Amino acid sequence: MSQIRTTLRRAGLTTALATVGVLTAAGVASAHVTVHPESYAKGATDGVLTFRVPNEENTASTTKVQVFMPTDHPLLGVLVSPRDGWKAKMSTTRLKKPIKTDDGTITDAVSEITWTGGKISSGQYEDFDVAFGQLPKDTEKLTFKTLQTYSNGKTVRWIEAPSGGQEPENPAPVLKLGAKGGEGGGSASSVPAAGATGKPRASSSDSTARGIGIAGLVVGVLGMAAAAFAVVRSRSAGHAE
């Protein structure tokens, strides 16, 4: 019986360590600033983008978030949704090329949104909602470089672009733009925004995290199966003797 108990303890320890490892990896894989939904139609109107900011520091809180809006392909009619405990400040810039709309010519656009005054504690995240009047029609994607500042003075620069098909260490949030009703995205009414539904679409990193989590469960099951096999084998050996 002592041999069986030892076998079970070893199998259980191996399973636990393997599961903790993959779940930890899952948390790391999804812990960067993202924009939801992942895609919209080119020229979509009256929609909402949600910037999800997780806190990666164990001993510090996030106290400042700066999202830089693309000015080469600007968003029109940008508005910020109030967020309890946070104060939002929008900065504008004059466009190099004015944009003609049905309501007139647009010469300025929002270039930066900064949230301060609140805090995101360790193990938590905050969603910041930004409404837009219209997305650009002349680009395939929009990149929102973001700076995240912590209470200990550390600033994480989420500004890197993918290279060679590999995700960088600090990727900038990217919104893909596709034809209306096409594979790349839908209209504002057909692609729900996180701020509108409360259920943001999963990003590629979230999918990766789920995949890793499933792998952890598989490892756990295999570990338990190995333990059961060891018990049966030990009993069989005992009877043989």
pLDDT score recorded for residue 163:
79
Q: How far is CA 155 from the centre of its chain?
A: 18
Q: Is the peptide bond between 74 and the residue preceding it cis, with omega within 30 degrees of 0?
A: no
Q: How far is CA 91 from the centre of its chain?
A: 25
Residue 70 forms beta bridges with which residues? Answer: none
pLDDT score recorded for residue 210:
47
Q: How far is CA 235 from the centre of its chain?
A: 49
Whether the CB-CB separation of 91 and 111 falls below 8 Å is answered with yes
Q: How far is CA 28 from the centre of its chain?
A: 11
The 3-state DSSP class for residue 180 equals coil
pLDDT score recorded for residue 220:
52
The 3-state DSSP class for residue 77 equals coil
Distance of alpha carbon 42 from alpha carbon 137, whole angstroms = 5
Mean pLDDT of 146-175: 93
pLDDT score recorded for residue 164:
76
Q: How far is CA 223 from the centre of its chain?
A: 31
Q: Is the pLDDT of residue 166 over 70?
A: yes
Distance of alpha carbon 210 from alpha carbon 212, whole angstroms = 5
pLDDT score recorded for residue 105:
92
For 59-104, how does the pLDDT look when each residue is reduced to its tens digit (9 = 90+)? 999 999 999 999 999 999 999 999 999 999 999 999 999 998 888 8
Whether the CB-CB separation of 86 and 115 falls below 8 Å is answered with yes
For 182-234, how does the pLDDT look when each residue is reduced to its tens digit (9 = 90+)? 444 444 433 344 333 333 344 444 444 444 444 454 445 445 545 554 544 55
Its pTM stands at 0.67
User: In angstroms, what CA-CA distances link 118 with 85, 125, 207?
Assistant: 5, 12, 29
